[in-house]
Amino acid sequence: MAAAGASSEDETQSKSPTISFINSQKGKQLLIANEYTFKLNKATTTTKYWKCVVNSCSAKIHTDVNGHLMSIYIRSRTRHLMHLVKINDEHSHPSEKETIEVREFREKVKQRAVNETTPMLVLTYAIKHPSLKSEF
C-alpha cells in the first residue's frame, strides 16, 4: 500500500503547474499557471490567495508570500488531497494562452518604452515586427 501512495504523490507532483507572474494593465500582479490567469484576492502575512480572472470560474491558487505554490483548489465532482496540492485539471472555461501572450508582449513593450530614450521608435518597431516578440 505504501508504494501506491507514493506513486499517487509522484503523479500529483508531476501535475503541479509552473507559475509565473506578470503585471496587469493597471500594474497589479497577476499569477500565470498552465495558461490560466489568476488575480490576487487576499494576502496575509504568510499566504497569498489568488482566484481565476474569469468570474464564473471557481479555480483558486494559494502561494506563500514569496510566490511559491502551496495549494490549488478547483471545484469539481471529485477532490483529491495529496501532499499540499489539491488538483483537478479542469477550469470552467478554455485556457487563456493568447490573452497571456498579448499581456506579456504589452508588458515588454512598456518596459522598453520606459527604459529607452526613444519610446516612439520602440512602438513603431514592435508594430512593424510582431514576429520578433522575443526581442521585447
Q: What is the pLDDT of residues 74-130, one digit of tens each?
A: 554 344 332 233 333 455 565 677 777 778 787 887 777 777 766 667 667 777 766
C-alpha cell at 57: 470560474
> Measured on CA atoms in the order 2, 8, 14, 17, is the torsion positive or negative?
negative
Dist CA 7 CA 69 (whole Å): 21
Q: Cβ–Cβ contacts within 10 Å for residue 72, how many?
A: 23
Domains and CATH numbers, the chain: 7-93 (2.20.25), 96-136 (no CATH)
Q: Decide if 71 contacts 59 (C-beta within 8 A).
A: no
Q: What is the pLDDT of residue 33?
A: 82
Name the pLDDT band for 40 (thresholds 50, 70, 90). very high
Contacts of 41 (CB under 8 A, 6+ apart): 49, 50, 51, 60
Give the predicted TM-score (pTM) of the model: 0.55
